[in-house]
A and B are shown apart, each in its own frame.
Chain A
């Protein structure tokens, strides 16, 4: 599903990723861990086509992201959901409109849009905030809106960057369960996190990054 071959990415002088080779199969659940600045976000962005690698190749669903034409990237992104570390929500739009945006872009019918948005908002526990402006929500709520937006078009791949960074223990557990159920549906999940609670609960494959290198890659346990 996702393959990285000797991928390197530099921002100026410092190498954010250094010779990373990874293979993620369909239906995998990968937990990216590592200290701050290890390159977790960078890795996810590369897969998402938000950044281009300086070296190496990235294949996502057999498409070479590094060589993709700019006009094809939107279509690649529609098959993926991305929960961003800094939410990137539209503060002047309602929760509904934020979450519905990916569907509107794809030209879904009004009926489908309404149904799916309600479904996914209920799943993240925001059913009641339906018509609130996103800008007025707490950080935790915004994070859940962001998760809902990533899930609304039932992506094949879910990339999540610190999806529980602003949530309390209880909500973290709930959201982690949500990710688990999404994974159970067959979605490939890739999750970057510092949170040990999430790592323990998810019981996935753990990829540890350190200064842009893969330190360890093990199944199951910490």
Chain B
């Protein structure tokens, strides 16, 4: 008990004695973790968006004009019997026109000048979750396209594919950047701890003389490093949350991001905790690195 109190006390007094470099350490750690956090946040949101898009993969089957009623019914039946189809929603030519009027009232004149309804009847197909892999869908879409009476199919696969590819690249970039930033953090914390260690080398010599094993000597520095990293992680979390809310407020309704701002998400609690723990692990690891490096060289 006394030993634990002593070790904690040493760590705290060490931090106090070495205030300036500790501050620098915390600030730089916070900065690097924040930069990483920005990337992670972007990644989380992108992934979320892709997930949302992929959640209800739909394509619209436009039917030939003047298709016989029973043919369109046949197509409908066939699609319904497919295992890949979760639901089917038919729109007649008339309904399509009404939809159009409702959505674009100002353009209604455009259509009224025409005698015929130019809008095709369509079937909106929602794909069942198990069949949403890009390859499966494109094969299925190709099949449907080949059916007699199908005019064309609107399917935004390319866009989704590009997005998920982008996410995958982003994952890689985030990983690389994360590694570089982690390395920078480790270097900085390791040096802060080395300074702290150096400032107390006489004390360490005394501890050795009265029979303190290496781990006993190292623990206060490990605690120091861990606290430093955790503090950095915590500060960066606050910065990220602040920045995130600011961004959301600032761009809310500004058109450009319209529709996106409602789907923006912040880290979940687990992810936030992970960020702070990441700081702690970085701090602890780098002081381990530095303390054992110094001890070995003695």
Binding site for B on A (CB under 8 A): 48, 50, 71, 74-78, 82, 84, 88-90, 100-110, 113, 149
**A48 partner residues in chain B, CB cutoff 8 A:** 209
Instruction: Please determine whether A75 and B211 come into contact, CB atoms closer than 8 angstroms.
Output: yes
Instruction: Contact check, A71 vs B203: say whether CB atoms are below 8 A apart.
Output: no
| Cross-chain contact A104 with B209 (CB below 8 angstroms) | no
Choose one: A71, A75, A104; the contact of B6 (CB below 8 Å).
A104
Selected contact of A105 from candidates B1, B203, B205, B210, CB within 8 Å: B210
* Minimum C-beta distance from B26 to chain A (A): 24
Contact B2 A88 (CB under 8 A): no
Measured between beta carbons, the chain A residues less than 8 angstroms from B206 are: 88-90, 101
Contact A101 B2 (CB under 8 A): no
Name B90-117 residues within 8 Å CB distance of A.
none
16 further interface pairs, Cβ-Cβ under 8 Å (given A74-B208, A90-B203): A71-B214, A77-B209, A77-B210, A88-B209, A90-B206, A100-B2, A101-B210, A102-B211, A104-B2, A104-B6, A105-B210, A105-B211, A105-B213, A106-B211, A109-B1, A149-B210
The reply to whether B210 and A110 form a contact with Cβ atoms under 8 Å apart is no
Main secondary structure of the interface of B (DSSP, over half): helix
A84 to B206, CA, bound (A): 10
Q: Which residues of A contact B216 (CB under 8 A)?
A: 105
Closest chain-B Cβ to A153's Cβ sits at a distance in Å of: 8
Considering only CB atoms, which chain B residue lies closest to A50 in the complex?
Answer: B209
Q: Is the CB of A107 within 8 A of B211?
A: no
Contact A77 B1 (CB under 8 A): no
User: What A residues does B6 contact at CB under 8 A?
Assistant: 104
Question: Which residues of chain A are near B213, meaning CB under 8 Å?
Answer: 71, 74-75, 105
* A208–chain B nearest beta-carbon distance, Å: 27
B212 & A110 in contact (Cβ 8 Å cutoff): no
Q: A88-B205, A105-B216 are in contact. Are A78 and B2 (CB under 8 A)?
A: no
Docked-complex contact A105 and B212, CB < 8 angstroms: yes
Cβ distance A100 to chain B, nearest Cβ, rounded Å: 8
Bound: A154/B69 CA distance, A: 104
Write the chain A residue with the least CB distance to B13.
A92
B17 to chain A, nearest CB (A): 9
Bound form: Cα–Cα A76–B210 in Å: 10
| Chain B residues near A104 (CB-CB < 8 A) | 2-3, 6
- B207 at interface, CB cutoff 8 A: yes
Nearest CB in chain A: distance from B256 CB, A: 59
Q: Which residues of A contact B3 (CB under 8 A)?
A: 104-105, 107
Inter-chain contact B211/A74, CB cutoff 8 Å: yes
Chain B residue nearest to A100 in the complex (CB): B2
Q: Which residues of A contact B211 (CB under 8 A)?
A: 74-78, 102, 105-106
Cα–Cα, bound, A106→B213 (Å):
10
What 1/0 flags go to B174-216 for Cβ under 8 Å of A? 0000000000000000000000000000010111111111101
Query: CB-CB < 8 A to A75: which residues of B?
Result: 211, 213
Distance from A92 Cβ to chain B, minimum over Cβ atoms (Å):
8
B:1-15 near A, CB below 8 Å: 1-3, 6
Q: Is the CB of A84 within 8 A of B210?
A: no
| Cβ contact within 8 Å between B212 and A74 | yes
Chain B residues with Cβ under 8 A from A105's Cβ? 3, 207, 210-213, 216
CB distance from B267 to the nearest CB of A (A): 40
Chain A: CB-nearest residue to B214 = A71
A84 touches B209 (CB 8 A): yes
In angstroms, Cα B211 to Cα A107, docked, is: 12
Q: Cβ of A101 and Cβ of B207 under 8 Å apart?
A: yes
Bound CA–CA A119/B242 (angstroms): 57
